[in-house]
Structure 1
Amino acid sequence: MKHELRTPTSVIIAQAECGLQQPDAASKQQALEGVLQQAKKMSKLVNQLLQLARADWHKEALHLERFDLSELTEIVAAETKALAAAREITLTTTIEPGIMVIADQTLLMRVWLNLLDNAVKYGRRQGQVRLTLSKSGNSAVGTVTDDGIGISAAELPKIWKRFYRVDAARSRSEVNGSGLGLAMVKWMVESHGGTVTAASVPGEGSVFTFTIPLICPAGK
């Protein structure tokens, strides 16, 4: 955790110092943009840590409401298509309409965003990411499948740990993250009484599957 906080802090200090030494406005502007980018990254990391800490102390209350999960999923997928296109990845969806849930809408949106962001980051360029949502009994079932670099069987159980990063191929600098995304997904799904699993074959891709009760147990 110290490393995760120290890195953006060090970059902010270095870029700020460099910017102050630049004589021209364009160079100063570039330095400020770098500072802003790192500050946003640090702010996101701190917010995630605070939310996980509150969850550990059982102080993070869910904001339950009845809403159309299918409609929410369509919106998230549409927003993610631009991100996928930037990496030449095609995002396709199969979404069963009219799946109504009583749950925390913001948290379920973040579940989708984190899983899709993960799939796009580690997906194969000019590859495919597939999202599905369906209803099974009293649960909604969501999946995100990519055809990217995959995860080894030895490391697969560890991906839900906070700050855990898989091998260097998945941690290459251009897709570097905080290591909290999947830990957040696990907490958000399980806080609804659901489950989340992952299956992967190195060199072929990964499948993340989560289930959410149509009525969150906390709402009963």
Structure 2
Amino acid sequence: SDKAQWNVPWSEALFLPDFPVRGDAEEQDYVVIEMLAKGAYGNVQKVQKEDDKRFYAMKILDKKQIIEENAIQQCKDEAAIQSMLGDHPFIVKIYEYWQSKEHLYIVLDYVPHGDLFSLWTFHSLFPERLVRIYIAQMAIVLDFLHNSGVIYRDVKMENILFDPTGNVQLIDFGLAKWLQKTERTKTVCGTLQYMAPEILATWQYDHAVDWWSLGILMYTMLCGKVMLD
């Protein structure tokens, strides 16, 4: 239809120049192996690149849903922030990202060594010396993000993976935003049990909300329960 023909370049232009126009995953020589996780706008697949035979994690996001929910800038920020800051040893590295007619693709390091939430579900309580290491590493990466002009806004166990040596690997920058230290923002977002009071109260807030969430994370690991109050 005329409408469909008109929508194709428009739906691509909305994501340019951040997401260059290319084909789908198979056309870019990625073979989908299995589903890893489901997210708000799509899913994460384990894929293998044909040329180097390496495994990667590929986020495949639905452009139609992103446009309908006015999350275009959010997706652009996610890719740009992780691309610019992903060389940090505690952040999962991003390799490339592009768009096809219907989807956005973001290719990341595949980190198969487990996540903090699964570890916590199994053990419930962590020894203090281990909590000290995890919290220190998270503090280092949050401080790095804040000094780089980024607020993360989604500190939670599910977003913390481990590398082969047991160091943290922060993933999912879907709620991250460029925000200088002198600035504030007011979008209500995050995961309820980790949200700072000022977010819940719909007040303006700054990077301090990430430290609140880290405190909730520490409490949960030490006490074996989620603090909901």
TM-score, scaled to structure 1: 0.28
* TM-score of the superposed pair, with normalisation by structure 2: 0.27
